[in-house]
């Protein structure tokens, strides 16, 4: 959510930002907010004036009563009662107008960074840099679930019977490899100075609307029936929610955290060959990184975060690239975002394994996360998040890039301590 003061003073910049995101249907919201906000401020001024008059008359009543002028005091009390009724009506109208303004402000997209490329959808995303040399072996690489099945590492049929499509059983060495990826990612981030956290896996609706847009919530979140609770789609949600309505000391920033959680997503609209198997699923586990920072340091941390993911994948000798998200591909709360994509020898192209985002003060403004400056000034923090690793997508990249012609899979050296020293998984 952007600052309403900025919208009042720079409405055309807000409109241009909406155009840059190809969301022209939201343009009328700017004028609606300006109109409603003007009404709200007039109503607030009228209410303040009425309070002042009421307080002044109340003091007069006290003086008249002290002088024994009860009749005059009773007349003034009638005025006070009348003012109180009018004030109650004004306060109710003010509340209504504030709610209407907030409803629209929650839909207007955040102001994107000037460096973000302008484009309508993900086809306009821009490759930034490649890391490692992509290799295509001289033997055919099967689909990832076929590799897992030959290693007796997955049971999709049983999962469908138990929970439906979009779920899986991981078994044996594949399950162990999955856990090894998570454990290695945890320790990798701890070694880089991040504090490890295991957060709640459910959050309340006020946290949900604080961390994401309504459209994202509808597409992603599972609600617990009969309760004000949602299953998290990523640990970022509960990690940022931890700071709701808090004031953080400036001298304690940045807060650098790495969190583990299961993740639950509806994944509406998933389809196609690359959506089957374990690529796009309703339940998975993830290691995440989250930063709460000063505004002037958030872009520095943005670059550090995506580099952490690149370094982690390269430590397993998996080629990756970074892809900058264009304006039309950015979620409404994001200022800037890039994807980290791993090389798929089977597809002979890269595919997404993580996403790094700078959300500016949008989440902080929605959730009331403020910083107490050394000079006594209070301002909104900036929030950032990035995927460290999200198995089982990580498994797809790992299996394809380490598959041998005989069907065995090499275990990257950094994962072997988490696999009991095993260097090879064999059929």
Counts of helices then strands in the chain (DSSP H, E): 13, 18
Mean pLDDT of 283-310: 97
The most distant pair of C-alpha atoms in the chain lies apart, rounded to whole Å, by 106
pLDDT: which is higher, 127 or 274: 127
Helical H segments across 21-69, by residue range: 28-67
Predicted confidence (pLDDT) per residue in 130-164, tens digit:
999 999 999 999 999 999 999 999 999 999 999 99
Mean pLDDT of 380-388: 98
d(CA 230, CA 92): 31
Domain ranges of the chain: 4-105, 122-425
d(CA 217, CA 157): 30
CA within 13 Å, CB half, 287 = 25
Second CATH level (architecture) for the domain 122-425: 2-Layer Sandwich (3.30)
CATH topology of domain 4-105: Helix Hairpins (1.10.287)
Counting residues of the chain whose pLDDT is more than 70, the rounded percentage is 96
Strand partners, 287: 260, 389
Strand partners, 352: 341
Going by pLDDT thresholds of 50, 70 and 90, the confidence category of residue 83 is confident
CA angle at 288 for the pair 243 and 399, rounded to the nearest 5°? 170
pLDDT: which is higher, 79 or 413: 413
Structure tokens of 405?
């012609």
**Per-residue pLDDT at 74:** 67
Predicted confidence (pLDDT) per residue in 162-199, tens digit:
999 889 999 999 999 999 999 999 999 999 999 999 99
**Per-residue pLDDT at 163:** 93
Counting residues of the chain whose pLDDT is more than 90, the rounded percentage is 82
DSSP string over 368-386: T-EEE-TTS-EEE-EEEEE
Assess whether pLDDT exceeds 50 at residue 273.
no
Assess whether pLDDT exceeds 70 at residue 276.
no
Mean pLDDT of 86-90: 89
d(CA 223, CA 264): 10
Mean pLDDT of 113-134: 97
Mean pLDDT of 53-68: 72
């Amino acid at each position: 959510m952007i600052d309403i003061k900025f919208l009042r003073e720079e409405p055309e910049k807000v409109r241009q930002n909406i155009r840059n995101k190809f969301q022209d249907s939201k343009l009328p919201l700017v004028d609606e907010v300006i109109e409603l906000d003007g009404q709200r401020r007039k109503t607030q001024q009228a209410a303040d004036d009425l309070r002042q008059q009421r307080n002044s008359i109340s003091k007069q009543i006290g003086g008249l009563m002290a002088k024994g002028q009860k009749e005059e005091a009773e007349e003034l009390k009638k005025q006070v009662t009348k003012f109180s009724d009018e004030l109650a009506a004004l306060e109710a109208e003010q509340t209504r107008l504030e709610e209407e303004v907030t409803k629209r402000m929650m839909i207007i997209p955040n102001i994107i960074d000037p460096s973000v490329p302008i484009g309508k959808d993900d086809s306009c995303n821009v490759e930034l840099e490649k890391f490692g040399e992509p290799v295509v072996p001289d033997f055919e690489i099967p689909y990832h679930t076929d590799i897992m099945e030959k290693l007796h590492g997955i049971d999709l049929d049983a999962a469908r019977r138990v929970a439906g499509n979009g779920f899986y059983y991981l078994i044996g060495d594949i399950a162990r490899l999955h856990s090894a990826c998570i454990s290695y990612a945890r320790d990798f981030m701890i070694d880089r100075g991040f504090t490890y956290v295991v957060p709640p896996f459910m959050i309340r609706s006020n946290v949900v609307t604080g961390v994401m847009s309504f459209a994202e919530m509808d597409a992603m979140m599972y609600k617990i029936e009969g309760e004000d609770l949602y299953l998290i789609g990523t640990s970022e949600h509960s990690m940022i929610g931890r700071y709701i309505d808090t004031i953080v000391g400036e001298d304690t920033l940045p807060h650098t955290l790495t969190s583990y959680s299961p993740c639950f997503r509806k994944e509406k609209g998933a389809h196609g060959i690359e959506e089957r198997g374990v690529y796009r699923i309703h339940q998975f586990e993830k290691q995440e990184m989250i930063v709460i920072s000063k505004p002037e340091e958030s872009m520095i941390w943005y670059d550090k975060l995506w580099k952490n993911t690149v370094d982690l994948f390269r430590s397993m000798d998996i080629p990756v690239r970074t892809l900058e998200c264009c304006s039309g591909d950015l979620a409404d709360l994001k200022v800037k975002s890039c994807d980290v994509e791993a090389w798929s020898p089977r597809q002979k192209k890269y595919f997404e394994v993580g996403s790094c985002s700078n959300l500016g003060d949008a989440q902080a403004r929605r959730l009331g996360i403020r910083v107490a400056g050394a000079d006594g000034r209070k301002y909104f923090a900036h929030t950032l998040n990035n995927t460290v690793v999200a198995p089982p997508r990580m498994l797809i990249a790992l299996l394809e890039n380490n598959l041998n012609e005989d069907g065995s899979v090499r275990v990257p050296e950094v994962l072997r301590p988490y696999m009991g020293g095993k260097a090879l998984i064999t059929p």
